[in-house]
């Protein structure tokens, strides 16, 4: 049975275990204490101006006609299910059935369903985002760092807003995460990067450990000594890194999932083992998954049930509560998806197709 906290008990303290919170992030962060987090990473909606919808496609082999000799798919002769996924702009219907002819003339039925949709259009995007950035500033420790992940549509506005909120002297970096895949317009330079703005709470005391960050290969190893080439170089402020591949081991099926390698650099550089990391646009929980792998502690907040379900799966040791402190019971869908169908949304944002970058991956991913 879920336990409801008393009015005198805080929703979260620095002695809490890793925590996943299901609820509105502005209401939840208002209950957290000042200066409690060493690192805050935020990946808010990008204000693309479109309704975003991500879907599953369940493909099931159709039984052969009675007159035909059907070849069984398994030992018990049951039809096999081959889940696949796809993503596309929002169609008119939430579900549709497609008949497909596959290898050897076998027929398949593909049922497409919308799993989650959200409106990535904001009448006033900054009316939505600014109070959440103010909360991030309040919650940062004096040695802490904020990483705000946006795309080209809003990054320039964010820089002005954060300069006003933190002070221009607290600006540390503009990181460029570059990737190369998908359609490329011939009418302008194709947009193939995201921007991560980095601000510190106190420019005189912030924590940054460059030596803890995984090194990457030199792009021109012949221009350095063999010893340097073997060791690799520290990353700069431009990061070539793959988007999560659709068949990769870390893929969760969440549409806006970011690669573990990108978050790994952030967590390594701006926090130490035992520090608290906060992500209140947590999505698939990559921030928390990486933080716990590296010995940090994580508080993750998201209002979408599908996000919470995936985070449970990635961080099974975390407690899960709502914004009132009610401990949520185990979700059977988080334990094992239904056999024979895909219960997860696809692993990419519509505006950013998934692919492999032409540049090297991080050392941590190459060894995985």
One DSSP character per residue, 11-50 reads S--TTSPSEEEES-HHHHHTTSPTT-EEEEEE------SS
CB atoms within 10 A of CB 35: 14
Question: Nearest Cα to 137, choosing from 150, 148, 146?
Answer: 146
**Coil vs helix vs strand at 57:** strand
- Residue 133 bridge partners (DSSP): none
Question: Chain centroid to CA 310: how far?
Answer: 11
Cα 344-320-135 angle, rounded to 5 deg: 100
Length of the chain measured in residues: 368
Cβ atoms 345, 85 nearer than 8 A: yes
pTM of model > 0.75: no
Query: What letter would DSSP give residue 276?
Result: E
190-239 pLDDT, tens digit each: 889 999 999 999 999 999 999 999 999 999 999 999 999 999 999 999 99
CB atoms within 10 A of CB 281: 20
pLDDT confidence of residue 66: 53
Residue 155 has which token pair? 């990054």
Q: Which residue has the higher pLDDT, 216 or 57?
A: 216
The answer for residues whose C-beta is within 8 angstroms of residue 148's C-beta and 6 or more apart is 42, 44, 133, 158, 162, 196, 197, 198, 199
133-192 pLDDT, tens digit each: 999 999 999 999 999 999 888 899 999 999 999 999 999 999 999 998 767 889 999 889
HSE toward the beta carbon, residue 339, CA cutoff 13 A: 3
Q: Mean pLDDT score of the chain, rounded to an integer? A: 78
In the chain, the N- to C-terminal Cα span, in Å, equals 39
Question: Nearest Cα to 174, choosing from 199, 206, 139?
Answer: 199
Residue 63 has which token pair? 């039984």
- Helix, strand, coil tally for the chain in percent (to 5): 25, 25, 50
Say yes or no to pLDDT of 255 above 60: yes
Say yes or no to pLDDT of 318 above 70: yes
62-77 pLDDT, tens digit each: 665 555 444 444 444 4
The rounded distance, in Å, linking the Cα atoms of 293 and 254 is 20
For residue 215, give Cα distances in angstroms to 39, 124, 245, 265: 21, 40, 22, 9
């Amino acid at each position: 049975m879920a336990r409801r906290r008393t009015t005198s008990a805080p929703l979260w303290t620095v002695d809490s275990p890793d925590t996943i919170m299901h609820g509105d992030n502005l209401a939840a962060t208002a209950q957290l204490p000042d200066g409690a987090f060493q690192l805050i990473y935020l990946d808010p909606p990008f204000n693309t101006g479109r309704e975003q919808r991500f879907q599953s496609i369940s493909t099931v082999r159709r039984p052969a006609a009675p007159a035909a000799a059907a070849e069984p798919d398994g030992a018990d002769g049951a039809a096999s299910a081959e889940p696949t996924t796809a993503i596309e702009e929002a169609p008119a219907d939430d579900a549709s059935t497609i008949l497909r002819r596959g290898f050897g003339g076998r027929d398949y039925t593909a049922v497409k369903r919308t799993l989650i949709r959200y409106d990535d259009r904001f009448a006033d995007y900054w009316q939505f985002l600014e109070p959440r950035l103010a909360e991030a500033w309040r919650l940062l420790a004096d040695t802490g760092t904020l990483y705000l992940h946006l795309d080209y549509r809003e990054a320039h506005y964010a820089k002005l807003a954060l300069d006003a909120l933190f002070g221009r002297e607290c600006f540390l970096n503009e990181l460029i995460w570059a990737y190369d895949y998908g359609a490329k317009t011939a009418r302008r330079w194709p947009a193939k990067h995201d921007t991560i703005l980095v601000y510190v709470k106190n420019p005189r005391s912030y924590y940054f450990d460059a030596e803890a960050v995984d090194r990457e290969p030199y792009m021109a190893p012949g221009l350095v000594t063999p010893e340097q080439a073997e060791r690799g170089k520290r990353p700069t402020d431009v990061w070539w890194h793959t988007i999560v591949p659709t068949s990769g081991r870390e893929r969760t099926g969440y549409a806006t999932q970011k690669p573990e390698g990108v978050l790994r650099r952030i967590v390594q550089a701006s926090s130490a083992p035992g520090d608290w990391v906060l992500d209140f646009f947590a999505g698939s929980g990559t921030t928390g998954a990486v933080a716990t792998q590296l010995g940090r502690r994580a508080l993750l907040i998201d209002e979408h049930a599908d996000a919470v379900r995936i985070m449970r799966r990635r961080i099974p040791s975390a407690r899960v509560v709502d914004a009132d402190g009610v401990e949520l019971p185990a979700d059977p869908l988080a334990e094992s998806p239904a056999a024979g169908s895909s219960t997860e949304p696809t692993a990419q944002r519509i505006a950013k197709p998934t692919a492999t970058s032409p540049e090297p991956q991080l050392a941590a991913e190459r060894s995985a």
